[in-house]
Each structure stands twice: as structure tokens, then as C-alpha cells.
Structure 1
Amino acid sequence: MPNSVASFIICTILGFGIGFAGFQLAGKDDVASTDTRTETATNTESTDNTPAEDGSGEEAEQPTTESVVSANSEILNTKGCLSCHSVSSLDLEGGATGPDLSQAFTGVEGKHGKPLNEFLKEPTSAVMSSVISGSPLTDEEIQQLVDALQEAAE
């Protein structure tokens, strides 16, 4: 019986690892298509809008906002978060394996007993522990993820 349990655990971990690696590889193509959609949306907006008559420069501010959203979502793509998770509040479609991360900034502490930045350093869930241990995050990456998820929660 203990051998069966050990075999199940090992197979589960290997399955998640292989699945994660497959989604990582497949996700790299999604990054390019997401960037193309963002550029297309930005170009469409800038050609459709006429400059404000009062010269307030509202048109110039819009791409800056899009750039921030794009930069924040980029870390979610590059670190593979979107392989398992979506962030619907940022219009980021991802995998359905993990929960939507739109409210992770405010919800992680209640669910896991530690703030998001601490959770990303040392996750308390089994799945995230294996994912993070396979690809540890730097302090800078953790801060970028926290910033992106804070924006998603707003």
C-alpha cells in the first residue's frame, strides 16, 4: 500500500511538471499573439481618435496606460502563470487548471495565511510549491507579479 501511494505522488508530480513544461512551451507562442493584439488595439485607437481640440494630449496618455498593462501582463506570460491561470480583470485568458488571479492580491493572505509576496517566495499549496521550486522567482520578479496582481484587483 505505501508503494502505491508513493507511486501515485511521484506520477502526479511528474504529470504536473510535464504539463507545466508543455504549457510553458506553448505559452511562448501566445506571448507573441498577445503582443500583436495589444499593438493592433493601440494602433487602431491612435488612428481612430482625433486629437483633442484643447490640446490636452489625452490621446498620448492612452498608450502609456496600455503599456503599463502590457508590461504588467508580460511578467504573467514570461513566468508561465497564464499556463494555468487566467486574469479576467486584465482580459488575460489563460489555463483553467488554476483559479482566476484577478483577486489574488487581496485573497491570498486570507486563503494561505501570508501576503502575496511571501506566498510567492514560499507557497503553502502543494501545486504551487512544486511549480515555484522548479523555477524560483527573483525578488524583482516577485515584485513585478505583485504589482500586476495589485493592478488586477483594483
Structure 2
Amino acid sequence: MNKAIFSFVISAIIGLGIGYVLYGLLGGTGNTPQEPVAAAPSSSTSTAADQSTSTQGSADKATAVDENNIIAKRGCIQCHSVGSLNIKGGQVGPDLSQAYTTVEGKHGKPIEEFLKQPTSAVMSGVIGKNPLTDDQRKQVLELLKKASEAKQ
């Protein structure tokens, strides 16, 4: 009996340790280092214009969009992509191409409110630990609106 309990405890510790490491490697919120958030541009309108120009160009310009938009800066692309803007990211979360128009139906509140206080457990943990500033929220909304319009 003691041997069985000892084996169980050791197996549980090893399993939890492996799970913790894998969770961190796959983009979990554990001790995964986050890129620092760069200072937001003085005008979010110019950011949207820059992104618009970037997404209309070649694949090289699409890569520049990935590196310079608010979704990349905030780490959203660890789980999400925005296919309509050629922003490639993770596959764990849904594609955000239609989030601007579908969040209210899925989560019961407008996207502006969802970005302040998400109703999903995963996003509550992500945004709750690192909330968006008003300017960042405005930039995310502009980008998601543009993605929604590009998808149509």
C-alpha cells in the first residue's frame, strides 16, 4: 500500500512539473516572458493608416504589420491570428477577423466592454492580469474594425 501511494505522489509531481513546463512553452500565462509593450504612437489614427498601407502590400509588408500592430505588441498573436489582415499568430484562440461584429453575440456585451471586462474565463485571466489602456483599447478596436471590413 505504501509503495502504491509513493508511486502515485511521485507520478503526480512529475506530471504536474511537465504540465507546467509545457504550459509555459505553449504560451500560457505562467512564467512565460512577455515582450515589453512599446510606447503607443501619439495618434491612433496614424497607426491605422500605417497598418492599412502595410496590409495592402506584399508579403514582406504583411510581416511588418505583424511586428508593429497593437495585437502583436500586446502578445495577442500568441493565441490569435487575424486572417483578413494577413496577421499570422497562434491557433489556440479564434481568428479575430470578425471579432468586431461577433463578440457581442458570443459574450453578451459590446466589444468595447469585453476588452475592459471579458466574460470568458481565458480572456478574463489574460486581460485581468495586464489590462489595456484606453489608447490601446482604441487601437485594438480600430484594427478589429478594419479586419471585419476587410473580411466582407
Give the direction of change, closer, same or farther, for the CA distance of 1:153–1:134 in structure 2 (3 Å limit). same
Query: Match for 2:29 among 14, 17, 32?
Result: 17
Q: Does 1:104 align with 2:113?
A: no
**What SS does the corresponding residue of 1:18 show, helix, strand or coil?**
coil
CA deviations over 1:112-147 (Å, ceiling 9, x no partner):
011111000000000000000111111111111001
Aligned residue type for 1:146? L
Partner of 1:76: 71
In the alignment, which residue of structure 1 is the partner of 2:131? 136
* TM-score computed with the length of structure 1 as normaliser: 0.59
Q: Is the 8 A contact 2:55 2:86 kept in 1?
A: no
SS at match of 2:132: coil
Matched residue SS, 1:17? coil
CA distance in 1, matches of 2:73, 2:123: 16
Give structure 2 stretches of 5+ with no counterpart: 1-15, 38-48, 57-64
The partner residue of 1:66 within 39, 53, 57 is 53
Q: Residues 44-93 of structure 1, C-alpha deviation per residue, up to 9 Å, x if partnerless?
A: xxxxxxxxxxxxxxxxxx9784158849x610111111110000000011
- Higher helix proportion (structure 1 or 2): 1
Q: Residue 118 and residue 63 in structure 1: after superposition, are their counterparts in 2 closer, same or farther (change >3 A)?
A: closer
Tell me which amino acid in the other structure corresponds to 2:53: E
2:29 and 2:83 map into 1 onto residues whose CA distance is 25
Shift of 1:100: 0.2
Which structure 1 residue ranges, 4+ long, deviate > 2 Å from structure 2? 62-65, 67-71
TM-score, structure 2 as length reference = 0.60
Q: Cα RMSD (Å) of the superposition?
A: 3.2
| Partner Cα distance (1:149, 1:87) in 2 | 8
Query: What is the one-letter code of the residue matched to 1:124?
Result: T
% identical aligned pairs: 48
Which consecutive residues of structure 1, in runs of 5 or more, have no partner in the other structure? 1-7, 29-61
Alignment of 1:108-119 (within 5 A): 108-119=103-114
C-alpha deviation, 1:99, in angstroms: 0.3
Q: How many pairs does the alignment contain?
A: 106
